[in-house]
A and B are shown apart, each in its own frame.
Chain A
Amino acid sequence: AQSVTQLGSHVSVSEGALVLLRCNYSSSVPPYLFWYVQYPNQGLQLLLKYTTGATLVKGINGFEAEFKKSETSFHLTKPSAHMSDAAEYFCAVSDTGNQFYFGTGTSLTVIP
């Protein structure tokens, strides 16, 4: 079975600072990797995904993530945090069998 580890259940950054949310996965086969954002009282929204090809993936709202196979990582970054980025972020992995595995989530706080 695959698993996803998100380091840091809570991350605080100042407005304008770099956002770095960490995600490591275990997979015996090349996975599909996803980052989702969840705002309070809402469902999840896809930020970005990696399937094949270019390892640096750009998503919505200025976020990007880099797939590093050697490190089994898929960290999420944004150069400059905005107040509206405050939310819960989930990393997820899927295989070709459509099984999805989610990390435990990272709550991002943006300090004005």
Chain B
Amino acid sequence: DSGVTQTPKHLITATGQRVTLRCSPRSGDLSVYWYQQSLDQGLQFLIQYYNGEERAKGNILERFSAQQFPDLHSELNLSSLELGDSALYFCASSVGLRAIDEQYFGPGTRLTVT
């Protein structure tokens, strides 16, 4: 158990819909990262937040957005969903904001778009 929690575990929704994925970091960690893992595109870094502020942006689509709240939990919002958005979405947390700080991964949310 990494100490990072993600809800829900599974999500099934239809094309065109909007969903919100939630991540609670380990106690004391200030950074949250979001990743997408799919068969087509492999594992991709989406975005990083540190203490409420966006720090780094990867291959995140404009239809996707994220935020980190004052209690440090983070949400990833996916809108206008397409079949290709079906994937496993991981969040990870680390104590600091540097790339070399060890990241602890949650169990993931599996999103299925039908």
Contacts and interface: CB of A to CB of B under 8 A. Distances in A.
Interface residues of B, number: 24
B91 to A, nearest CB: 9
A104 interface: yes
A101 B100 CA distance: 14
Interface stretch (A11-19, A20-28, A44-52): A44-52
A98 B56 contact: yes
Nearest to B99: A94
B106 interface: yes
B105 A100 contact: no
23 contacts: A41-B107, A42-B107, A43-B2, A43-B4, A43-B90, A43-B106, A43-B107, A43-B108, A44-B43, A45-B2, A46-B103, A90-B43, A94-B100, A98-B48, A98-B55, A98-B97, A98-B99, A99-B56, A100-B33, A100-B99, A101-B45, A102-B45, A105-B43
